[in-house]
Amino acid sequence: LPPPPPGPLTSNGTKLVYDRNHPWKPLRKGDIRGPCPGLNTLASHGYLPRDGVASPSQIITAVQEGFNMDSGLARFVTYGAHLVDGNLVTDLLSIGGKTKKTGKDAPPPAIIGGLNTHRVFEGDSSMTRGDDFFGDNHSFNQTLFDQFVEYSNRFGGGSYNITVAAELRHRRIQESIASNPEFDFTSPRFFTAFAESTFPYAFFVDGRISNRTSAALDMTNATLFFRDSKFPRDFWRPPAPTGAIGIIEIFSAYPIAPGRNVGAVNTYTPDPTSADFGNFCLLYTNFVNNTVKSLYPDPKGVLRRNLILNLRYFYGGIAGGGCEEIFPYGQI
Ligand code: HEM
Ligand code: MG
> Ligand 1, residues 32, 36, 45, 122: which to mutate, most atoms within 8 A of Cβ?
36
**From the CA of 130, how far away is ligand 2's center (Å)?**
6
Decide whether any atom of ligand 1 lies within 6 Å of the 38 Cβ. Answer: yes
Query: What is the number of the ligand closest to the CA of 127?
Result: 1
**Whole-number Å distance between alpha carbons of 138 and 107:** 25
Query: What is the ipTM metric for this complex?
Result: 0.99
Band (328; pLDDT cuts 50, 70, 90): very high
Q: What is the mean pLDDT of residues 70-86?
A: 98
Cβ-proximal residues to 326 (8 Å cutoff; 6+ apart), any chain: 284, 285, 288, 289
**Whole-number Å distance between alpha carbons of 49 and 108:** 27
Asked whether the beta carbons of 138 and 126 are under 8 A apart, the reply is no
Sign of CA dihedral 34, 38, 44, 49: negative
A 10 A CB-CB count for 30 gives 9
> Ligand 1, residues 9, 39, 68, 168: which to mutate, most atoms within 8 A of Cβ?
39
pLDDT tens across 121-161, in order? 999 999 999 999 999 999 999 999 999 999 999 999 999 99
Q: What is the mean pLDDT of residues 105-113?
A: 98
> Ligand 1, residues 196, 310, 314: which to mutate, most atoms within 8 A of Cβ?
196
Decide whether any atom of ligand 1 lies within 6 Å of the 62 Cβ. Answer: no
Q: What is the mean pLDDT of residues 274-289?
A: 98
Q: Which atom of ligand 1 is nearest to the CA of 115?
A: 9
pLDDT at 224 over 90: yes
Decide whether any atom of ligand 1 lies within 6 Å of the 141 Cβ. Answer: no
Portion of the chain with pLDDT greater than 70, in percent: 100
What is the average pLDDT value for the chain, to the nearest integer?
Answer: 98
Decide whether any atom of ligand 1 lies within 6 Å of the 17 Cβ. Answer: no
Q: What is the largest CA-CA distance in the chain?
A: 56
**Whole-number Å distance between alpha carbons of 286 and 240:** 31
**pLDDT for 263:** 97
Three-state DSSP class for 235? coil
**From the CA of 63, how far away is ligand 1's center (Å)?**
11
Portion of the chain with pLDDT greater than 90, in percent: 100
Asked whether the beta carbons of 242 and 211 are under 8 A apart, the reply is no
pLDDT tens across 239-252, in order? 999 999 999 999 99
**pLDDT for 13:** 98
**From the CA of 301, how far away is ligand 2's center (Å)?**
34
**pLDDT for 150:** 99
Residue 286 exposure: Cα atoms within 13 Å on the Cβ side: 19
Decide whether any atom of ligand 1 lies within 6 Å of the 73 Cβ. Answer: no
Whether this model's pTM surpasses 0.90: yes
pLDDT at 27 over 90: yes
Band (213; pLDDT cuts 50, 70, 90): confident
pLDDT at 313 over 90: yes
**pLDDT for 100:** 98
**pLDDT for 74:** 98
pLDDT at 70 over 90: yes
